[in-house]
């Protein structure tokens, strides 16, 4: 594992482990406080498995009141807290700290209310994303944001990361589908932001909390919008002789005023890998392959599919298939959705990057990725939420080989820097976490980051809630770059740390 | 000396004037830095279309951003436009029109209410107030369309958040926080806004119906149907006459539901919806695109309150509560209409005083909603809370205010005491 600097371990806290555990056992059911290393082990990492750290303790509260009391206790005793939902995050947002109490929200797993009149669902945070849709689909409703991990990821985690998915072009990310949350702040204050009404009064704390990666509060209840399921959904599978043609086709579809429900592009490497893996019937000779999906009424979908066909042909499409049945449409998606396991077959490990770029820069960015792939001598396959410019290069490497991991991380960082350079963003939907923390200075200057840190301090003055995530440990952006620890010595030990 | 400081020292600011009309960011920075140093409160204005909304507050100087305008970058194929904050909304809409695109959140034009004629304001003002129009339930609020911004905080530092791409979760989403903050957190200088294609066709089903209960039933069914409407309003009898159009000669109460999209799809969905709602021919009129646009524009402009002298309240609440709240509000002399498919009430009160207002607030709060006083008489404005807030959120708001504007020099007290 590559060494990433985390906030200084508080030895006083480490030495009081037993006392803290027994205090917490006074607050909540004693069996919900875990302190034995064997019990802690399952919590040492999240979806970013290259980084692991055992927490000091794990607490599994069952009520909002317990969450509030634990946070209050930790705040008063200066104990760091790391909140965790399902642990599927890809940027290390819930990776524990050595001296932290990891707050596992797994027991908050019930849907509280389904309200069809107001078209919303009120739920506890550790209900999975997909479970919300399952709960309302009998009545023809669904919850729109659909991150790939929707079968396992929790709705509270979705709020913390502002998760997207293949349908966010048309339906937005979590932030656009959220009506309200209940939050516990680090000092134990319980409050609600938003509710069942469409807007809330005053400052938009709901918007601030969404995507704040567990740094500002612990989410204990979530109210999401549900939508009526579309009547018809159809997809087209289109092959292109070049990435440029595919990119132009995407731009033209958007320019024509069609907003697809989803629009995905995969490069040749990923098309082949996923086709081998899932036998999806992809055009494996094509340099780029696009899946474009429309939903709505029959006439609407037909009109858009027809338009897409014309635009694709104009842009030299080499093959075009339109789904005739729902099964066929799902088969189109099966390959794309198996992108991760398909890459797992090709290499011992892969790292999934998550940059956002202007749609029009796709060809340029993919060419640069291909150049970097040669430079670092690591294979890469690319998936792209083309509609909203969210690029997911999958870099293949061997985690057992330290040099390979180092190269992979540098390769990934170079890609993200390039995304920012062409007018994009470091992360489209996976969050910054620890993974992209040191790259924040690529996107923001010192003043921008200071403004954000001031907000953090306003709500968590002792910086105890999920510290060491999102923002560079070194305070000044002048000290940019990934921080490595050499021989246990850090650079600039006197600079204040957040 | 940094590049920025060098530039600042080159502008020569005459600080004796009471109204500043900057044309460059450097000037704004210098004004704010001076105000910060000297503890001088600033009132921040764009085109003053909504500056009467909010509490009265003391300010020594005014920052007029109406000359800080212009389109910086418009990429129709990337679905965004980047503009300076003082740019008139009208200018932006005109530019988008050329590419058949739009700001889907169709913000209210408060000019009719406050000055009897259109004044849709500046984009900075639109974002600062976050009042979205009839498409709210389908496309979100103003804040859902802000991709990023650049602003000046209370210390005179230039800060930014977000960018020009739709998917961006890098750092806290400050674009949300500044939307609806009424200029109390930051002076917006640049805004990147998501734009969307205009629908090919718009049709509006007008159902002749004077009863609120029935109207809410229609709206609820429409919003829960797969016909995907993009607007739903109810006007009681007394407002019907304001909507006499070529295809709408009935002048009583009406429920209107808008369907937009490709032409053949709109026809199909409009037919389907009228069947799903069980409508008879004699109770239904259908407005074509042009008349439909006129209808929704009048709604967006709050034209039924054009000659209203005072006491307009904006009440946001879960749609399940609307009927009960209106029934309770009928204890007072009110005129109202319903927008957002049932989730928003615009209500005028012939008489309003502190006591009545507090009753109304209690009622709305009980029903999980909140009130904003949009236009009230001056003496009431001086004593009443314009916005609603609870003590916990007030405390948090105070902290957030201080984190952006430590000396509270931006519109101090416009939203709440000290904020």
Parallel, antiparallel or unpaired: strands A57-59 and A100-104: parallel
What's residue A427's pLDDT?
A: 93
Same domain, B264 and B333: no
Q: Residue B11: its pLDDT value, please?
A: 61
Task: Please check whether residues B295 and B228 belong to one and the same domain.
Answer: yes
Mean pLDDT of A119-135: 98
Mean pLDDT, chain B, integer: 94
Using a CB-CB distance cutoff of 8 angstroms, which residues of chain A are in contact with residue B174?
208, 451-452, 455
Q: Which residue of A has its CA nearest to B416?
A: A202
B1: pLDDT confidence band, cut at 50, 70 and 90? very low
Asked if pLDDT for residue B249 goes beyond 90, the answer is: no
| DSSP assignment letter at B268 | H
pLDDT at site A334: 87
B15 and B106: one domain?
yes
**pLDDT at residue B244, rounded to an integer:** 83
The token duo for B275 is 């069947």
Sheet-wide strand order for A57-59: A33-34, A57-59, A100-104, A80-84
pLDDT attached to residue A491: 37
What ipTM describes this predicted complex?
A: 0.95
- A347-421 matches A232-339 in CATH topology: yes
pLDDT more than 70, % of chain B: 97
**Assigned domain for B283 exists:** yes
Q: Is the confidence at residue A69, as pLDDT, over 90?
A: yes
- Chain B, 52 to 111: residues with Cβ < 8 Å from chain A are 75-79, 100
pLDDT band at A478 (very low <50, low <70, confident <90, very high): very low
Report the phi/psi class of residue B130: left, alpha or beta, with left for phi > 0 and alpha for psi in -120 to 50.
left
Whether B253 and B237 map to the same domain: the answer is yes
Output the pLDDT for position A430.
93
SS3 state at B196: strand
Q: Is B42 in CB contact (< 8 Å) with chain A?
A: no
* Mean pLDDT calculated for residue range A107-117: 98
Q: Is the pLDDT of residue B256 over 50?
A: yes
Instruction: Indicate yes or no: CB of A447 within 8 angstroms of CB of B158.
Output: yes
Residue B276 sits in the same domain as residue B140: no
- pLDDT tens digits along B54-69: 999 999 999 999 999 9
Considering only CB atoms, which chain A residues are within 8 Å of B172?
208, 211-212, 216, 452, 455
User: For position A474, what pLDDT does the model report?
Assistant: 64
Q: Of the candidates A382, A393, A247, A261, which has an alpha carbon nearest to the alpha carbon of residue A329?
A: A261
* Gap between the terminal Cα atoms of chain A: 23
Category of A293 on φ-ψ map: left (φ > 0), alpha (ψ -120 to 50) or beta? beta
Provide the token pair at B260: 């937009």
pLDDT bin (cut points 50, 70, 90) of residue B10 is low
Q: What rounded mean pLDDT belongs to chain A?
A: 91
State which residue of chain A sits closest to B150, comparing Cα positions: A448
- Based on the fold, state whether residues B173 and B206 are members of the same structural domain: no
The predicted model gives A354-378 an average pLDDT of 93
Distance from the Cα of B244 to chain A's closest Cα (Å) equals 30
Share of chain B above pLDDT 90, in %: 88
Residue pLDDT, tens place only, A184-229: 999 999 999 999 999 999 999 999 999 999 999 999 999 999 999 9
A35/chain B closest Cα distance in angstroms = 32
Of A55-64, A99-108, A293-302, A417-426, which gets the smallest average pLDDT?
A: A293-302
Write down the pTM of the prediction: 0.94
**B70-85 average pLDDT score:** 96
Torsion of CA A355, A358, A364, A369, to 10 degrees: 0
Rg (CA), chain A: 23
Residues B25, B158 within the same domain:
yes
Would the CB atoms of A426 and B165 count as touching at under 8 Å?
no
Structure tokens of A255? 């320019």
| Other beta carbons within 10 Å of B252 | 14
pLDDT for res A335: 87
Contacts of B316 in chain A (CB under 8 A): 197-199, 201
Q: Is B172 on the interface with A (CB under 8 A)?
A: yes
Structure tokens at A379: 């294979």
CB contacts of B226 in chain A (<8 Å) are: 140, 228-231, 297
Residue matched to tokens 């600079």: A495
Based on the fold, state whether residues B91 and B4 are members of the same structural domain.
yes
Residue A254: per-residue pLDDT: 86
Whether the Cβ atoms of residue A172 and residue A140 lie closer than 8 Å to each other: no
Residues A350, A408: Cα–Cα separation, whole Å: 9
Q: What is the average per-residue pLDDT within B403-407?
A: 98
Segment B143-160 shows an average pLDDT of 98
Q: Which residue intervals of B52-206 are DSSP H helices?
A: 89-98, 111-115, 123-129, 136-139, 174-178
Topology of domain A232-339, CATH: Alpha-Beta Plaits (3.30.70)
Would you say residue A481 has pLDDT above 70? no
Residue B419 lies in a domain: no
CATH 3.20.20.70 given to domain A347-421 = no
- A343-373 burial, b for 16+ CB within 10 Å, e for fewer? bbebbebbbbbbbbbbbbbbbbbbebbeebb
In a domain, residue B401? The reply is: no
Q: How far is B62 from chain A (nearest CA, A)?
A: 23
* A51 or A111: which leads in pLDDT: A111
Mean pLDDT of A42-66: 95
Residue A4 confidence class, pLDDT cut points 50, 70, 90: confident
Confidence of residue B362 (pLDDT cuts 50, 70, 90): very high
CATH of the domain at B233: 3.30.70.2190
Q: Tell me the nearest-neighbour CA distance from B17 into chain A, angstroms.
A: 29
Q: How many residues does chain B have?
A: 419
Residue A483's pLDDT is what? 35
Kindly provide the b/e burial profile for residues B124-154, where b requires at least 16 CB atoms within 10 angstroms of the residue's own CB.
bbbbbbbbbbbbbbbbbbbbbbbbbbbbbbb
CATH class belonging to A111-228: alpha beta
For residue B142, the 8-state DSSP code is G
Same domain for B105 and B173: yes
CA distances from B6 to A387, B9, B10 (A): 42, 5, 7
**pLDDT category, A3, cuts 50, 70, 90?**
low
For residues B134 and B170, membership in a common domain is answered with: yes
Is there a contact between A385 and B228 if contact means CB atoms under 8 Å apart?
Answer: no
Task: For residue B396, list chain A residues with Cβ-Cβ distance below 8 A.
Answer: 185, 191, 203, 205, 459
- With CA atoms as reference, report the closest residue to A222 among A81, A88, A84, A128: A128
Would the pLDDT of A477 be above 80?
Answer: no
pLDDT at res. A476: 53
With 90 as the cut, is the pLDDT of residue B39 above it?
yes
Instruction: Provide the pLDDT for residue A492.
Output: 36
C-alpha span between A233 and A261 (Å, rounded): 9
Sequence-distant (6+) residues with CB within 8 A of B330 are none
CATH topology of domain A11-104: 3.30.43
Weakest-pLDDT range from A45-49, A123-127, B294-298, B406-410: A45-49
| Residues 6+ away with beta carbon under 8 Å from A78 | A10, A13, A462, A464
Last residue of a domain, one of B245, B279, B300: B300
Q: Is the pLDDT of residue B5 over 80?
A: no
Domain end residue (candidates: B254, B273, B300): B300
Could you give phi then psi for residue B244, rounded to 5 degrees?
-70, 115
Q: What is the pLDDT of residues B364-385, one digit of tens each?
A: 999 999 999 999 999 999 888 9
- Say if CB A171 and CB A163 are below 8 A apart: no
**Domain residue spans of chain A:** 11-104, 111-228, 232-339, 347-421
Q: Tell me the CATH number at B153.
A: 3.30.465.10
pLDDT at A264 exceeding the cut of 80: yes
Structural domain harbouring B284: 201-300
What pLDDT score does B241 carry? 87
Percentage of residues in chain A with pLDDT exceeding 90? 80
**Same domain membership, residue B250 and residue B360:** no
Same domain, B189 and B206: no
Contact with chain A for residue B418, Cβ under 8 A: no
Is the pLDDT at B164 greater than 90? The verdict is yes
B170-181: pLDDT as tens digits? 999 999 999 999
The rounded distance, in Å, linking the Cα atoms of A11 and A421 is: 41
**Mean pLDDT over residues B60-85, rounded?**
96
The residues near A9 (Cβ < 8 Å, ≥ 6 apart) are A97, A98, A99
Domain tally for chain B?
Answer: 3
């Amino acid at each position: 594992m590559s060494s990433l600097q985390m906030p200084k371990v508080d030895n006083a806290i480490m030495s009081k482990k037993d006392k803290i555990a027994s205090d917490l056992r006074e607050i909540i059911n004693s069996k919900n406080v875990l302190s034995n290393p064997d019990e802690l082990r399952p919590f040492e990492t999240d979806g970013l498995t290259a980084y692991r750290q055992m927490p000091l303790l794990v607490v599994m509260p069952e009520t909002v009141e317990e969450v509030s009391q634990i946070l209050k206790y930790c705040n008063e005793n200066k104990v760091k807290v790391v909140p965790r939902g399902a642990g599927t995050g890809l940027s290390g947002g819930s990776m524990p700290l050595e001296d932290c109490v990891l707050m596992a929200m797994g027991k908050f797993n019930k849907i509280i209310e389904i309200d069809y009149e107001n078209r919303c669902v009120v739920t506890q945070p550790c209900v999975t994303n997909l479970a919300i849709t399952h709960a309302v689909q009998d009545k023809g409703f669904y919850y729109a944001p659909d991150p790939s991990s929707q079968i396992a990821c929790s709705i509270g985690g979705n709020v913390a990361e502002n998760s997207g998915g293949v349908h966010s072009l048309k339906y937005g990310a979590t932030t656009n589908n959220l009506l309200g949350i209940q939050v516990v702040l680090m000092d134990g204050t319980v409050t609600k932001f938003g509710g069942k009404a469409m807007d809330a009064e005053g400052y938009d704390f709901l918007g601030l909390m969404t995507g704040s990666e567990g740094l500002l509060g612990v989410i204990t209840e979530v109210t999401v919008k549900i939508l009526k399921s579309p009547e018809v959904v159809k997809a087209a599978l289109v092959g292109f002789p070049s990435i440029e043609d595919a990119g132009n086709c995407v731009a033209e579809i958007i320019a024509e005023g069609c907003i697809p429900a989803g629009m995905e592009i995969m490069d040749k490497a990923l098309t082949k890998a996923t086709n081998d893996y899932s036998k999806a019937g992809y055009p494996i000779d094509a340099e780029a392959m696009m899946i474009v999906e429309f939903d709505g009424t029959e006439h609407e979908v037909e009109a858009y599919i027809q338009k897409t066909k014309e635009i694709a042909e104009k842009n030299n499409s080499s093959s075009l298939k339109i789904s005739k049945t729902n099964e066929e449409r799902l088969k189109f998606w099966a390959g794309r959705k198996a992108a991760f396991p398909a890459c797992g077959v090709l290499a011992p490990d892969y790292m999934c990057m998550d940059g956002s770029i202007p749609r029009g820069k796709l060809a340029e960015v993919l060419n640069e990725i291909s150049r970097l792939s040669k430079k670092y001598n690591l294979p890469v396959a690319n998936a792209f939420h083309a509609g909203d410019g969210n690029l997911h290069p999958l870099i293949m490497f061997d985690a057992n080989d330290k040099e390979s991991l180092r190269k992979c991380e540098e390769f990934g960082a170079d890609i993200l820097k390039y995304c920012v350079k062409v007018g994009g963003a470091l992360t489209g939907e996976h969050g910054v976490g620890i993974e992209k923390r040191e790259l924040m200075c690529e996107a923001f200057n010192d003043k921008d980051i200071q403004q954000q840190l001031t907000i953090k301090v306003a709500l968590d003055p002792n910086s105890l809630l999920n510290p060491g995530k999102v923002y560079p440990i070194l305070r000044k952006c002048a000290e940019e770059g990934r921080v490595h620890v050499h021989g246990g010595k850090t650079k600039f030990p006197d600079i204040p740390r957040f | 000396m940094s590049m920025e400081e060098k530039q600042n020292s080159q502008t020569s600011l005459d600080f004796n004037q009471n109204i500043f009309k900057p044309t460059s960011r450097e000037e704004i920075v210098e004004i704010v830095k001076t105000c910060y140093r000297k503890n001088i409160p600033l009132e921040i204005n764009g085109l003053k279309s909504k500056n009467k909304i909010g509490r009265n507050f003391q300010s020594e100087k005014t920052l007029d951003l109406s000359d800080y305008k212009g389109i910086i970058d418009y990429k129709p194929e990337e679905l965004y436009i980047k503009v300076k904050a003082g740019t008139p909304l009208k200018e932006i809409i005109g530019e988008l029109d050329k590419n058949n695109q739009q700001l889907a959140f169709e913000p209210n034009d408060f000019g009719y209410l406050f000055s009897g004629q259109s004044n849709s304001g500046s984009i900075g003002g639109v974002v600062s107030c976050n009042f979205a129009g009839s498409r709210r339930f389908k496309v979100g609020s103003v804040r859902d369309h802000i991709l990023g911004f650049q602003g000046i905080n209370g210390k005179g530092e230039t800060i930014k958040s977000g960018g020009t791409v739709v998917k961006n979760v890098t750092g806290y989403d400050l674009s949300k926080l500044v939307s609806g903050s009424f200029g109390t957190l930051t002076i917006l200088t640049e805004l990147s806004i998501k734009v969307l294609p205009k629908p090919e066709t718009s049709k509006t089903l007008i159902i002749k119906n004077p009863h609120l209960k029935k109207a809410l039933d229609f709206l609820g069914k429409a919003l829960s149907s797969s016909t995907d409407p993009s607007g739903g309003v109810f006007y009681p009898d007394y407002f019907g006459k304001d909507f006499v159009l070529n295809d709408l000669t009935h002048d009583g109460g009406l429920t209107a539901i808008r369907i937009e999209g490709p032409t053949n799809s709109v026809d199909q969905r409009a037919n389907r919806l009228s069947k799903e709602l069980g409508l008879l021919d004699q109770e239904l009129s259908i407005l074509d695109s042009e008349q439909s646009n006129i209808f929704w524009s009048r709604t967006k402009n709050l034209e039924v309150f054009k000659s209203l002298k005072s006491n307009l309240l904006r009440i946001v609440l879960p749609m399940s509560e609307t009927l009960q709240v209106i029934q309770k509000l009928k204890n007072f002399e009110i005129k109202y209409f319903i927008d957002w498919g049932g989730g928003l009430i615009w209500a005028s009160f012939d008489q309003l005083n502190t006591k009545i207002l507090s009753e109304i607030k209690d009622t709305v709060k009980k029903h999980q909603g909140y009130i904003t006083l949009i236009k009230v008489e001056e003496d009431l404005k001086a004593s009443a809370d314009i916005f609603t807030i609870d003590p916990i959120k007030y405390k948090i708001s105070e902290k957030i205010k201080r984190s952006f504007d430590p000396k509270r020099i931006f519109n101090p007290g416009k939203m709440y005491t000290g904020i």
